[in-house]
Amino acid sequence: MALVAGCKGGSDDKAGASSSSKTPTPSAYGRAVSPLDNPDGTKPGLAPVTSEEDQAAARKLISRVAVKGRGPKTGYDRDKFGYAWMDSADGVPWARNGCDTRNDLLKRDGEDIEYRDGSDCVVVSMTLHDPYTNKTIHWTKSQATAVQIDHVMPLSYDWQMGAAHWTKEKRQQIANDPLNLIPVDGSANSAKGDSGPASWLPPNKEIRCAYSVRFAQVSLKYDLPVTEADKEMMLHQCGG
């Protein structure tokens, strides 16, 4: 995106948007896919996990997540995870495809997309069905802050739970991995900061189990523990 602002915990992309938003009909999750059917994050959106069978599968996945206390934030800096939205973070989908991570995500989740003249990468307008607030946002690049890219497992949280000891390359991976990234309503993302699930959950209650599954998927992929309180909250959101 053209405007990038730092944040407390790695949810640090602020993209342009018009002020037009509305609460959608129940079908307005659009093309969104359940995280249980999207283990690498390359499919769009975040659809609710609602059936008893799927919630049982969600609890089974979350139960595999390790727990430990949250470590100190000493030494954390967003730059330790590479510059924002780099296309050269090896080991993640879409790396080195000629399009930065932010625009890859807007293309993944957006509908009715328009690109900059002469580009098949730079998104200048789209419609976004935001899972966190259950709003439809009519986004344009000309205004800032209404759409941001959320790091589901925030970068400073990652740092405190073990990423402080990683290589630079691995930190760049988690910062640019589509599994850990969702374009969402800017105010919801700002409210989240670097919180874990025990401290913050999406305002849209329908999506909270799906959000917990995605948080667990990132945790498991990168072998990062969560706090005991966070794990308990994640299980609770899926009927545990």
Q: 183: closest CA among 83, 86, 109, 81?
A: 109
What's the number of domains the chain is made of? 1
Q: Given a cut of 80, is residue 204 above it in pLDDT?
A: yes
Question: Does 4 map to a domain?
Answer: no
In the numeric block, the tokens 């959320």 are attached to 150
Question: Does 172 map to a domain?
Answer: yes
Question: Does 176 map to a domain?
Answer: yes
**pTM for this prediction:** 0.89
Is the separation of the CB atoms in 220 and 65 below 8 Å? yes
Question: Does 134 map to a domain?
Answer: yes
Question: Does 6 map to a domain?
Answer: no
Q: Give pLDDT tens digits for 2-50.
A: 333 333 344 555 444 443 444 343 455 779 999 999 999 999 999 999 9
CA distances from 114 to 24, 65, 85, 110, 177 (A): 21, 39, 20, 10, 24
More confident residue, 152 or 4: 152
Is the separation of the CB atoms in 197 and 161 below 8 Å? no
> Structure tokens of 24?
């959608």
| Partners of residue 137 on adjacent β-strands | 21, 128
Report how far residue 18's alpha carbon sits from residue 15's, in angstroms, rounded to the nearest whole number: 10
By CB atoms closer than 10 A (0-12, 13-18, 19+), residue 172 is buried
Q: Give pLDDT tens digits for 54-92.
A: 999 999 999 999 999 999 999 999 999 999 999 999 999
Q: What is the pLDDT of residue 145?
A: 76
Structural domain boundaries, residue 232: 13-237
The answer for residues whose C-beta is within 8 angstroms of residue 170's C-beta and 6 or more apart is: 163, 222
3-state secondary structure of 198: coil
Question: Does 7 map to a domain?
Answer: no
Q: What is the pLDDT of residue 13?
A: 54
Q: What percent of the chain has pLDDT over 90?
A: 84
Question: Does 75 map to a domain?
Answer: yes
Question: Does 164 map to a domain?
Answer: yes
